[in-house]
Structure 1
């Protein structure tokens, strides 16, 4: 991927691309962040279990697409060890967790989760089983996987295993 190719495909001059993104890595990071922000909307149903299920199911749907699998392949490749791609991966996941934190924060405020529940830790506990299957075991990943991952994360939160340090 080059800035010239992106500009040509977008029908603009490459200076337009450089005006908005200083590097092609930043362009890729922003494109992926936008893509996954669109594919994984942050729900607000009024119930934490429903919100987390919608979130986990959206994650499963996004990660089982061609783009999701390509992202995983890139994130796990030797190329991901380069500083530029490592930064893209960090920014992408940081954005996903930041956008989803209000789901947990609202649940704590409503009394559905214990005070002190760490949103980031709960979200990581929720996505871990999904990524484990996608990356390591190759087992099918579907809505049942998403729902079970939510149940496990909620059980850990209720047991106060996901409290902020």
Structure 2
């Protein structure tokens, strides 16, 4: 694949090119956290990263291209899933990871900016979906292992379970403004686990009246 025609974030460079990418994505992430997506400017990113402006325009092309690659990098460096021996323990670890990300001074603001970008730009939206696809795929074995242990019914949808963990925490971050604290984190994990145990997330299941 020719690097000049590849989708931003699809080429994994090495050597000096990797160092340039690291510098540019760090600068882009800082600017997103500070000011949001609307004012993200490639020239300013290049200046802050101390990289040639032409290099940034050629490789990433648009602010959305930078967001896409930033999310790809975040997915690459995401922590592996837990294996506590129980679904409740694994989901609590997952909720704590989400909570830690959302309450981090830099990462919380960065995610707000990325989500805002995804509401108005198709490239950013696709990148955000890709990030969560990677995260969900990494943690799905926790639910699959719970099925094998008999903790939850066969046919339980791992993506649905994991989404139920993170959804209330994102709601607090983006909508209600309520704290994403340890109580909220534990409640999100417990509620998702109980629902899974009751068969709520079995694919094709019909809710009982």
- Fold equivalence (TM over 0.5): yes
Structural mapping, 1:64-143, within 5 Å: 64-66=103-105, 67-76=107-116, 80-143=119-182
Question: Which of 131, 156, 162 is matched with 2:195 structurally?
Answer: 156
Q: What is the SS of the residue equivalent to 2:119? A: helix
Aligned residues: 164
Could you say if the C-alpha distance between residues 14 and 146 of structure 1 is closer, same or farther in structure 2, counting changes exceeding 3 Å?
Answer: same
> What SS does the aligned partner of 1:162 have?
coil
Indicate the structure with greater helix content.
Answer: 1
Gaps of 5+ in 2: 1-39, 205-209
Q: Quick one: structure 1 residues 83 and 153, their matched pair in 2 at CA, closer, same or farther if it must change by over 3 Å?
A: same
Q: Distance in 1 between matches of 2:174 and 2:202?
A: 27
Partner of 2:11 in structure 1?
Answer: none
Gapped regions of structure 1 (runs ≥ 5): none
Q: Distance in 2 between matches of 1:36 and 1:59?
A: 13
* Alignment TM-score, normalising by the size of structure 1: 0.80
Higher CA-based Rg: 2
Q: What value does the CA root-mean-square deviation take over the aligned residues?
A: 2.8
TM-score scaled by length of structure 2: 0.65
Q: Quick check: 48-57 or 38-47, which moved more?
A: 38-47
* Distance of 2:100 and 2:89 partners within structure 1: 16
Map 1:12-27 → 2, pairs under 5 A: 25-27=64-66
Please give the secondary structure, in 1, of the residue aligned with 2:150.
coil
SS at match of 1:25: helix
Label 1:43 to 1:23 Cα distance change in 2 as closer, same or farther (>3 A): farther
Match of 1:46 among 53, 78, 85: 85
